[in-house]
């Protein structure tokens, strides 16, 4: 069984088959028969786990497994506690109601890599950062949640899945490493060094 962690770059599509206009996972990983456990849209960055084991793929991706995913979202507008309280409580997004989640304001992350291209900058509109931790992972969910409370997401980075976080792995965008399978069940286990 293979379990990989990849720091997915901005703009990369979560597929291995060629895409006419976007880079794919094949440009980052050259191992056969591994597939993403969950997805990360092209405009989002950060931690993506891949495996060749269907049961492990389900454990990582399915909300019933309660494996939390942690995101840092740079959102438009000034901080608003009411908006954060609404995020925590669950939101009706029309086609589904989100489960309650953890959400809080965080300082601008100093150790976060630069995005290429950078987000648009508008001097007249402030931004701030939120940390959102949820067990779901529906299509563009975090972006839809922040938009629903009036705080559109400008940049979205998944920093952790369960106990695995992209910073402790020292992965830069496009870099991956192999992980021990037990890392998802044993807290505090150290991962291996980056392979690329």
**Tokens at residue 76, please?**
């438009």
Among residues 41, 64, 49, the alpha carbon closest in space to that of 164 is found at 49
The DSSP bridge pattern shows strands 44-51 and 153-161 to be parallel
- Which residues does 119 contact at the CB level (< 8 Å), separation at least 6? 74, 154, 155
3-class secondary-structure state, position 78: coil
Task: For residue 151, give every residue at least 6 positions away whose Cβ sits within 8 Å of its Cβ, in sequence order, or none.
Answer: 75, 76, 77, 80, 83, 130
Catalytic residues: 41
- Which residue blocks in 4-134 are alpha helix, DSSP H? 54-61, 81-89
Q: How many helices (H) and strands (E) does the chain have?
A: 3, 9
| Closest among 38, 52, 59, 13 to 158, alpha carbons compared | 38
Inter-residue contact 181 to 163 (CB < 8 Å):
no
């Amino acid at each position: 069984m293979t379990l990989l962690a990849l720091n997915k770059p901005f703009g990369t599509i979560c597929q291995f088959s060629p895409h006419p206009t976007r880079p794919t996972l094949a440009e980052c990983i050259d191992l056969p028969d591994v597939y993403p456990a969950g997805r990360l849209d092209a405009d989002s960055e950060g931690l993506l786990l891949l495996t060749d084991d269907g049961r492990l793929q389900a454990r990582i991706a399915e909300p019933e497994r309660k494996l939390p995913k942690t995101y840092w979202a740079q959102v438009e507008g000034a901080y608003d506690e009411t908006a954060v309280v609404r995020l925590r409580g669950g939101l009706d997004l029309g086609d589904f109601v989100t489960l309650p989640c953890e959400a809080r304001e965080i300082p601008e992350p100093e150790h976060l890599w630069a995005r290429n291209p950078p987000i648009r900058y508008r001097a007249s509109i402030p931004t701030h950062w939120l940390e959102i931790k949820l067990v779901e992972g529906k299509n563009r969910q975090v972006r839809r949640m922040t938009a629903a409370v009036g705080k559109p997401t400008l940049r979205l980075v998944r920093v952790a899945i369960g106990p695995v976080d992209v910073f402790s792995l020292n992965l830069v965008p496009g870099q991956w490493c192999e992980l021990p399978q037990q890392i998802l069940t044993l807290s505090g286990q150290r991962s291996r060094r980056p392979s690329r």
